[in-house]
Structure 1
């Protein structure tokens, strides 16, 4: 049995399992894409964000 047929039999054969796989994979993709986009945004704008400059403007 090849890996393709094993994956088909385990995850894609039944519609309910297929839906669960699609929903779970879309959740994890969205989460990882969001984290990656935030990291890229923070690195491009380093020094300009509030978290980087708030020490200059906050008083105790």
Structure 2
């Protein structure tokens, strides 16, 4: 176990620039994953009640003119 932790320390934490970069990349990835997941959950709960699902009922197509 100490070999794994030592390897992580030597590659990531030891250098301040690499450590901060890892934090920023991790925060960005977490934000992206949370936003994607919450949007997917919202869309599945509200399927059929959102504008993107019902706009074809109210919009006239260009072919009808």
Query: 2:8 aligned with 1:13, yes or no?
Result: no
Q: How does 1:1-60 map to 2 (within 5 A)?
A: 2-60=3-61
Gaps of 5+ in 2: none
Moved >3 Å (runs of 4+): none
Unaligned runs of 5+ in 1: none
Distance 2:31 2:46 in 1: 22
Q: State the alpha-carbon separation in 1 of the partners of residues 41 and 9 from structure 2.
A: 36
Counterparts of 1:12 and 1:25, CA distance in 2: 14
Give the TM-score, by structure 1 length. Answer: 0.92
* CA RMSD after TM alignment: 1.1
